[in-house]
Amino acid sequence: MKYTIGELAKKAKLSADTIRFYEKKALIDPAQRADNNYRYYGENSLSQLIFIRHCRELGMSLKEIQALHEQLKHPTDGCAPVNELIANHLNHVNQTIDQLLRFKQQLEHLKQLCDHDETVQNCKIIQSLHAPDSSDDIIDLRLNIH
């Protein structure tokens, strides 16, 4: 079956712009041009896009998806590199969860500083966020998610 980009977008649950992006990154088969100059995609493109969407739903980066895509070109090879990539991604997810839990604690601490009767200029939350980095009371709110 052949799909126009609009039909493919609907079936893959992605935007046409996203499909063009993945096509430029060579993650899906290139479209075939018909006599009417429409771009048509096959079932393999749909399968590739569903694969990519599932990877993205798991928070995988484009680099990780490209690495998995490269593995697909060698179907008879062992899957150890795939397992390693997933293990590394899982490690990254666990680090992100730990970091988000720290942020949650820090935000809860900031929220407890609030005295609703204070003015903004005397707000303990604002003062804490303005504290220099060298302060022991500083709340580190930097997000280092890759």
CATH number of the domain encompassing residue 47: 1.10.1660.10
Q: Is the per-residue pLDDT at 62 higher than 70?
A: yes
User: Domains in the chain: how many in total?
Assistant: 2
Residues 68 and 84 in one domain: no
Higher-pLDDT residue of 49 and 144 is 49
Instruction: Give percent of the chain with pLDDT exceeding 70.
Output: 91
Task: Indicate the residue among 53, 72, 91 that finishes a domain.
Answer: 72
Residue 140: inside a domain, yes or no?
Answer: no
Residues 97 and 56 in one domain: no
- pLDDT in the model for residue 140: 54
Residue 43: inside a domain, yes or no?
Answer: yes
Task: Indicate the residue among 72, 91, 111 that finishes a domain.
Answer: 72
Characterize 65-104 residue by residue with b for buried, 16 or more Cβ atoms within 10 angstroms of its Cβ, and e for exposed: bebbbebeeeeeeeeeeeeebeeebeebeeeeeeeeeeee
Residue 48: inside a domain, yes or no?
Answer: yes
- pLDDT in the model for residue 137: 47
Q: Is the per-residue pLDDT at 129 higher than 90?
A: no
Q: Is the per-residue pLDDT at 135 higher than 90?
A: no
- List the domain range (segments joined by +) for residue 103: 80-130
